[in-house]
Every structure is written in C-alpha cells, then in structure tokens.
C-alpha cells in the first residue's frame, strides 16, 4: 500500500514500504519531455547535464559518491517526462536522496561541459539513425503525431541540440523543475519518519512557484505512409494505429488482445509470419500510452522482397480478428502471460518506485498490482472484439518503412 505526502513547498512524495526488501529505490520525476519543449531535445540534454557537476561535486565525484553506496544512479527522458533514479542497499537512503537533491538544485551547467555534451548527444542521434528498428518507431510517431509535441524526437535534431544555450537550460529548469511539476517516489525498506525528514531536508527548499509549461494539446492522429531508404540490408515495417491514453479502461482488453495477436512467440502474427511463412525474423506488437492518447504498433523486420506478402498477412489477420475475435484458449493464455509478467515485473523495488512516480505524475493515482490483475481477469471475448474494432476498425493508421536503397 502506497502513501502520498506533500512537502512544505508543495512537492508530492509517493512512497511504499516493502519490509521484505533489503534495498531502496528513489526517483525524481519531472513533467518535462519532448512533448512540451520550445527547443527540441532540451529535456534530454538537461538530463545529461545534471550528471556533469554541482556546486559541491564534479562529475567524477557524483559517480564516486554513488559507487560508495554500492548502488546505481541513472536517468532517462521520454516524450512526457524525465526521471532521475537510484537503487541502493536500504541503509544508504540518506546518501541517495542527498545526491539526487544536489543534482536537481545545484547543477552548475558550465559552458565547457555544455559544448562537450552537444557532441555526445549528436553521437547519440547518429547511433539512433544507425539503428533502423529504433528509427522506424521514432519516424512512425513523428508522422502519426505530426504538428504536435508528441511527434518530436526525444533527443532533438542536430540543429536543435547545437542551438541549446546555458540561458535556455536555466529558463527551462525554472519553468519545469518546480515542486508542482515534480514527484519524488521511493520504494523499499525504510523508516517512514526518516524518509519524510530526509525528503524535507533535501527537496523541501526547492523554490515553490507556478510551472510554466504551456498548454498540452491532444494530438490529431495522422494517417498515411512514409518510406525512408538507407544503406541497410533489412527492411523495417511499423504500422501504427491510434490507441488509448494511459487512463482509458480500453487498456485492459487491449493488453489481452496484444498478447494474443503479436505479444509473444505463441501469438498469431509470430506463428503466421515467422513460423509458418518464414517471412521475418522479428515480428511483434507493442502498446505505447500517453496522458491523452496512444499508439498500437505492429512491427516486422524482414527482407525487402517479403514486405508486401507480410503486409498482406497482417491485414488478413486483422480482418480475422475483427470478425472472429480470440478463442477462449487464446484469451486464457494471454491472461496467464500478463499475470506472470505483472507479478514478476513487480518484484523489484525499482518497478514499485516507477509505478508510483509515473502514476502520480501523469494521472494523480497509482494502479496497483491487484487492481491491474483484477481488471485483466475480467476481460471477456466481447471486450476484445470491441477493443479490436476501436483500434483496427476506424481505419486510422500510419505505416512507416525503413528499407534498403533501391538498386
């Protein structure tokens, strides 16, 4: 059972005590992602820069401080948020929170570090471009959510990264890194009184002021097709369909549908496309949910000559799903796989911390394991057919292909 408290400056702290654990995970969640940026990639760039030194510690000292706890310190940026998190043994919670608080409040953003990090991020962009599977998903969302912040690349472009300045970083921090736009989440074995005292000490003095993030507009889902040719051998196919947001009850029948349709080795698409037809090595489906929308994607990595046959099979399987739904056996198998995934995925302190932070930041609540399992178990065959109709029946899809150059 989780608890929520509010620090003196308005910062929410969500925490869950796990007495059986010998570790603790803490995360600082900021509602700052590529969706709400004025300068493309600045949220991701700031994530990098917070590891480059504070008023009291160099980049090396930040790393050494965490090494002394025997734990891990990391961060990542998404389209909607940035999170900085640690995992340590239970008796190192103080050191962990002190370090996270120092990074959030006291990072110095030296001009020399900024210029060096621009080179690092530029190389990261090149790495993504050299990974066709990553690139096809990025391009899919760029085109499906065209003219909306959700379509922006998380890393930004080379041009936008080069345009980032220290003043721009400080302005973004001042607008987004404020208590009303952040959540501190902690899960593991700790004393509640100690946690709240440490949270107040290291985060309670962040200045309380309104967030200036601008209006978040729900995107229109664009349909169509885009083909990018590169010097690669294998084609990458991604067909995206408009999906539900993270608060929608449609998520639960969609989870069951996804698992049976393309979510594993026993799924229909894997069996038809890889096992029976030998058309692709990699084939799967995935669900991405955002605050107010989502995208359901069918992916296949295959040879160029197999593209059209694979698309034909995908369309035929979608038609079969819409007309027949899933068998009782498929639904039961999908539920058991989801149940195992939820239970096994929720065993670590890190997963509990993430569920707390993301849930409170984006929706104001946390969907606990028992609630998720109950919702999944209640899904019926009719629910799956209804979900399939909403996802596939609307005709709202975008196809992105990254393939080898035509010879």
pLDDT digits over 117-167, tens only? 999 999 999 999 999 999 999 999 999 999 999 999 999 999 999 999 999
pTM of the full structure: 0.95
Query: Which pLDDT score, from 0 to 100, does residue 407 have?
Result: 67
Residues 28/85, Cβ–Cβ less than 8 Å: yes
Instruction: Check if the beta carbon of residue 228 is closer than 8 Å to that of residue 139.
Output: yes
The per-residue pLDDT for range 162-194, each reduced to its tens digit, is 999 999 999 999 999 999 999 999 999 999 999
- Of the candidates 235, 219, 368, the residue with the CA atom closest to the CA atom of residue 288: 219
User: pLDDT-based confidence at 107, cuts 50/70/90?
Assistant: very high
Strand 397-404 and strand 224-230: the pairing is parallel
| Cα(160)–Cα(182) distance, integer angstroms | 25
Calculate the average pLDDT of the chain.
96
CA distance 71 to 340: 27
> What would the pLDDT profile of 341-374 be if each residue is shown by its tens digit?
999 988 899 999 999 999 999 999 998 899 999 9
Spot the catalytic one: 16, 47, 317, 330.
47
Please write the tens of the pLDDT for every residue from 324-347.
Answer: 999 999 999 999 999 999 999 888
Domains recognised in the chain with CATH numbers: 2-203 (3.30.830.10), 224-404 (3.30.830.10)
First to last CA, the chain: 60
Please determine, for residue 105, whether its predicted confidence score (pLDDT) is greater than 70: yes
Beta carbons of 284 and 290 less than 8 angstroms apart: no
| Catalytic residue flag (residue 47) | yes
Express each pLDDT in 189-230 by its tens digit: 999 999 999 999 999 999 999 998 888 889 999 999 999 999
């Amino acid at each position: 059972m989780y608890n929520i408290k509010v620090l003196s400056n308005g910062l929410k702290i969500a925490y869950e005590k796990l007495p059986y654990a010998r570790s603790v995970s803490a995360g600082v969640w900021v509602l700052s992602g590529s969706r709400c940026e004025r300068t493309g990639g600045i949220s991701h760039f700031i994530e990098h820069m917070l590891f480059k030194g504070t008023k009291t510690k160099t980049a090396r000292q930040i790393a050494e401080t965490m090494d002394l706890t025997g734990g891990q310190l990391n961060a990542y940026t998404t389209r909607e948020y940035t999170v900085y998190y640690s995992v340590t043994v239970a008796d190192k919670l103080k050191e962990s929170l002190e370090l996270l608080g120092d990074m959030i409040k006291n990072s110095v953003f030296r001009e020399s570090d900024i210029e060096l990090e621009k080179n690092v991020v530029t190389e990261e962009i090149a790495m993504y471009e050299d990974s066709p599977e990553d690139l096809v998903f990025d391009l899919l969302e760029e085109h499906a959510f065209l003219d909306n912040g959700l379509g922006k690349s998380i890393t930004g472009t080379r041009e936008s990264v080069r345009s980032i300045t220290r003043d721009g970083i400080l302005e973004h921090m001042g607008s987004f890194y404020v208590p009303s736009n952040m959540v501190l989440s902690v899960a593991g074995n700790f004393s509640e009184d100690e946690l709240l005292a440490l949270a107040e000490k290291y985060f309670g003095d962040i200045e309380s002021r309104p967030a200036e993030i601008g209006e978040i507009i729900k995107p229109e889902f664009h349909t169509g097709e885009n083909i990018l040719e590169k010097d690669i051998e294998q084609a990458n196919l991604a067909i995206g369909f408009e999906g539900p947001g993270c608060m929608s009850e449609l998520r639960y029948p969609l989870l069951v549908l996804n698992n049976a349709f393309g979510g594993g080795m026993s799924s229909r698409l894997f069996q038809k496309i890889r096992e029976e037809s030998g058309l692709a090595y990699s084939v799967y489906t995935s669900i991405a949910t955002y605050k107010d929308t989502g995208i359901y994607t069918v992916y296949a990595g295959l040879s160029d000559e197999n593209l059209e046959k694979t698309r034909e099979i995908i369309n035929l399987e979608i038609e079969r799903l819409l007309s027949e739904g899933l068998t009782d056996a498929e639904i039961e198998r999908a539920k058991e796989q989801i149940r195992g995934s939820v239970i096994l995925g929720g065993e670590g302190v890190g997963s509990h911390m993430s569920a707390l932070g993301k849930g409170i930041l984006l929706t104001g609540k946390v969907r606990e394991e028992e609630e998720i399992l109950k919702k999944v178990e209640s899904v019926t065959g009719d629910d799956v057919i209804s979900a399939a109709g909403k996802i596939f029946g609307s005709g709202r899809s975008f196809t992105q292909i990254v393939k080898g150059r035509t010879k």
